[in-house]
Amino acid sequence: MNWRLMGLVLALPLAACGTAEDTRYLIGAPALVEPAKARVGLRSVELRDVTLPEHASGTDVLFRHEDGALRPLGDAVWADDPERAVTGTLAQLLDARSSAVVAPEPWPLRDGPSARMTVRIDKMIASSTGLFEITGLAAIAGVEGRPRERVERFGIAVPLTAATAAAVTEAQGRALVALSDELVGLLR
């Protein structure tokens, strides 16, 4: 048997594995130098599952074009469920950037949390304007009446360096860091 033909036959199954779904991107924060932890008046906070809009909760990495249409960025898909990934990333950032112990729901410890935080995102999109934007609202509710309950709207915009999935992923990470800084302010 011809060795070239044999190599081609063996390579075909491997080539078939290279589908569009192989280009996966993680949602997460960039590696940053950790700032000093902000002192907050809460011992512990349970971050409820973050609510994402339909355009941000699917598997495709979307991009808003000049005509306003949201279209997938080539063959790029998220490597994890976006709601789970955003919730986990924000919980890690809040825990790292504040003096409170922060964990996503369900609360993992026997003693319950001091407060619960709800984050509802209305828009989370990269666009041809050169920005990655996140807008929505956050609420803090004390388990035993403290802290004072309140709801605040947020709007984050960070520069987007290119119309690529890698650039969208990087900008999204920076936007989540900026959002966590605003949320730490809500814990004070």
154 touches 138 (CB < 8 A): yes
Mean pLDDT for the chain? Answer: 88
pLDDT score of 17 more than 80: no
* Structure confidence by residue, pLDDT tens digits, 98-128: 999 999 999 999 999 999 999 999 999 999 9
pLDDT at 145: 67
pLDDT at 34: 67
User: Is pLDDT larger for residue 41 or for residue 82?
Assistant: 82
pLDDT at 32: 65
136 touches 83 (CB < 8 A): no
pLDDT at 102: 97
* Structure confidence by residue, pLDDT tens digits, 125-160: 999 999 999 999 999 998 876 777 899 999 999 999
Which SS3 state, helix, strand or coil, does residue 13 take?
helix
Position 185, amino acid: G
45 touches 100 (CB < 8 A): yes
pLDDT score of 2 more than 70: no
Domains of the chain with bracketed CATH: 24-187 (3.40.50.10610)
Q: pLDDT band for position 69 (50/70/90)?
A: very high
Query: Taking Cα atoms as reference points, which of 187, 173, 185 lies closest to residue 86?
Result: 173
Give the span between the Cα atoms of 134 and 49, in whole angstroms: 16
Query: Taking Cα atoms as reference points, which of 86, 103, 109 lies closest to residue 45?
Result: 103
